[in-house]
Amino acid sequence: MQAVVIGSGAGGAVAARELALRGIKTTVLEAGKAFRPLSRNIAKIRALRGFMFSEKLISLVFPPMKTYRTEQGLVLIRGISVGGCTTISCGNLLRAEKGMRELGLDLTPEYQHIEELLKPTPVPVKRWRPTTRAMYAAAQDLGLAPFAPSKAVSLARCVSCGLCELGCAARARWDASRFINDALKQGAQLITGARVTRILHHSMEATGVEYIHQRKKQQLPADIIVLAAGGIGTAALLHASGIENTPFFWGDIVLTLGGKKKNADQLHELPMVWCVQKDHYIISPYIDILSHFFHRPWRNVSLRDRVGVMVKLADTPNGRIQSPRDITKHITDLDYKRLDQGIAIASEIMQRAGVKGPFTRGILNAGHFGGTASLTKQDVPGMRPAWLPRRLWVADLSLLPSSQGLPTMLTTMALSLRVVRTALSHPA
């Protein structure tokens, strides 16, 4: 039996690992290359601050990070490399479960399995910067019940450079390439720079994939095809293959409020060491690197003095992905209203902790893409949307219809594990 896994991010890596561990001949096709962190070369882009007028240019110095700006000015961030978006993540590992009860989906065994492998742990208070501690105390005083989320980070190795999203040069933060390595040890094959262009199928049965590698178009027949190209990549591939997908997506929109405090040095801690969880968003201390480098209103504050608090919103699913370069997405009035509510709380926390203005909002961005191959309640026992051709499985965040406003890596992995286990026990 030959399995092909498209994408090596959170979903693809778990799928490849599980298939290979079960002795199935597995090939992973990954559009990106092996991941290299930028963090060691931060001086390179520091020097460019002020000359780089668009966040799009980040991929010139840091090829794994790709951005796309929608008409409404929402910047969509993707990680295109071995490990996908996990390589540019903050390492938070939480169970994001919005909408799962309504679907009848309980991923407890899969969460437990992955948590057992990654052993997530919160960052101890002694490693937080003083301003972050003061903001935590302010959030407590406001009755917001802040908590420290668990992270997939080795604290012994972490050097608190704060640049997790530019890749972890200390190799302290877990990313999905480690699961890919486990798969390779079991005999799986990884082809990097292999961009899948089409799922081959006829009579509602998938038969393999077409991909471009070293400028040559190639085909790979397979008995099981696991599509895990991320919310955007998966939707684009289904569309290119003439397979209609769910006509909306969500992205967990992030907006960071920037303030100023002399020598706060907030960058020298891990991002998001505590969180406040409200119904539709979380609030968390965070320096938004993209805004620091590319957002004009943020230009006049140095990294040393910059203090940021983010609002991560469970946004309204809408819009459409035709290809990675043809995406529409609307930020609704309700989304703006909730973002404003979150920003007002962030501002109160910051001011109580002695952070000064001017308070400026950063770039509206999103990086958790889901919903494009949504499961319905009827689909859950078989873990595949009913409209997929046989033998084709989706194993990434695309499966989840509800936006989370929460870190989504763990949920993606748990979904993928359930999909592969189902595919092997009840082949479609």
The CB-of-375 to ligand FAD minimum distance in angstroms stands at: 14
Tokens 């492998």 -> residue: 117
Q: Which of 3, 5, 11, 331 binds ligand FAD (CB under 6 A)?
A: 11
Q: Which residues pair with 179 in a beta bridge?
A: none
Please state the closest distance from residue 106 (CB atom) to ligand FAD, in A. Answer: 19
Q: Which residues are bridge partners to 76 per DSSP?
A: 68, 366
Does 167 engage in binding with ligand FAD (CB under 6 A)? no
For the four alpha carbons of 177, 179, 183 and 186, in that order, the dihedral sign comes to positive
Contact yes or no for 147/283 (Cβ under 8 A): no
CB of 400 to ligand FAD, least distance (A): 9
**DSSP of 30-42:** ESSB----SGGGH
Residue placing its CB nearer to ligand FAD in the complex, 39 or 92: 92
208 binds ligand FAD per the rule CB under 6 A: no
CB of 75 to ligand FAD, least distance (A): 10
Least distance in Å: CB of 356 to ligand FAD? 27
Q: Are 169 and 179 in contact (CB under 8 A)?
A: no
Q: Is 229 in the site for ligand FAD (CB under 6 A)?
A: yes
- One character per residue 351-380, x = contact with ligand FAD (rule: CB under 6 A): ----------------xx------------
Question: Is residue 384 at the binding interface for ligand FAD, with CB under 6 A as the rule?
Answer: no
Q: What mask of x and - would describe binding to ligand FAD in positions 327 to 356, judged by CB under 6 A? A: ------------------------------
Does 29 contact ligand FAD by CB under 6 A? Answer: yes
Closest CA to 350 of 187, 147, 193, 138: 138
Rounded CA gap, 272 and 326, in Å?
A: 31
Q: How far is the CB of 32 from ligand FAD (least distance, A)?
A: 4
Cβ–Cβ < 8 Å for 313, 382: no
CA distance 81 to 85: 8
What is the rounded distance in angstroms from the CA atom of residue 287 to the CA atom of residue 372? Answer: 30
- Determine the size of the site formed for ligand FAD (CB under 6 A): 41
- 40 scored as a contact of ligand FAD (CB under 6 A): no
Position 287 contacts ligand FAD (CB under 6 A): no
Distance between CA 292 and CA 305 in Å, rounded? 12
